[in-house]
């Protein structure tokens, strides 16, 4: 799972790095596979939340794009998970206005915290 590092940082006598097997183990999941029907429900719910975020003026960011990838793109009936990548964009482009908006939202969140 680990091996001696080929290149050592300056001043370090011994270092280790993760092997390919170690990375595979770290990324492994003990979760049971899900049915495609469940994955499709999860995807629909995600898309509803995505639209809710974009429609809500209280959020500082909007979802610019979302990409589905992984096993959901196959025809397999049993899937490990639903893989999504999203790109966020600030709803305002001016840096000063964006910072003020972030600070304001932070104060509102702190005031609402128990």
Neighbours of 59 (CB within 10 A): 15
Measuring CA to CA, which residue among 105, 103, 83, 102 is closest to residue 39?
83
Beta bridge partners of 2: 18
Residue 113 pLDDT level (bands cut at 50, 70, 90): confident
Kindly state the average pLDDT of the residues 21-47: 90
Cβ 15 vs Cβ 4: under 8 Å: yes
For residues 53 and 26, which has the higher predicted lDDT (pLDDT)? 53
What's the pLDDT score for residue 10? 85
Cβ 3 vs Cβ 21: under 8 Å: no
- Nearest 10 degrees: Cα torsion 95, 97, 98, 103: 120
What would the pLDDT profile of 58-84 be if each residue is shown by its tens digit? 888 999 999 999 999 999 999 988 999
Residue pointed to by tokens 């995807």: 43
Residues, the chain:
114
pTM given for the model: 0.64
Q: Count, in order, helices (H) and strands (E) of the chain.
A: 3, 6
């Amino acid at each position: 799972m680990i091996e001696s590092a080929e290149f050592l940082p300056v001043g370090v006598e011994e270092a280790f790095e993760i092997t390919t097997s170690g990375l595979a183990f770290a990324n492994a999941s003990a979760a049971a596979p899900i049915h495609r029907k469940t994955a499709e429900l999860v995807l629909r719910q995600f898309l509803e939340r995505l639209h809710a975020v974009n429609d809500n003026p209280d959020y500082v960011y909007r979802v610019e794009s979302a990409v589905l990838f992984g096993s959901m793109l196959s025809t397999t009936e049993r899937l490990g998970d639903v893989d999504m990548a999203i790109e966020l964009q600030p709803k305002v482009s001016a840096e000063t206005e964006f910072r003020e908006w972030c600070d304001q939202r932070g104060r509102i969140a702190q005031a609402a915290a128990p």
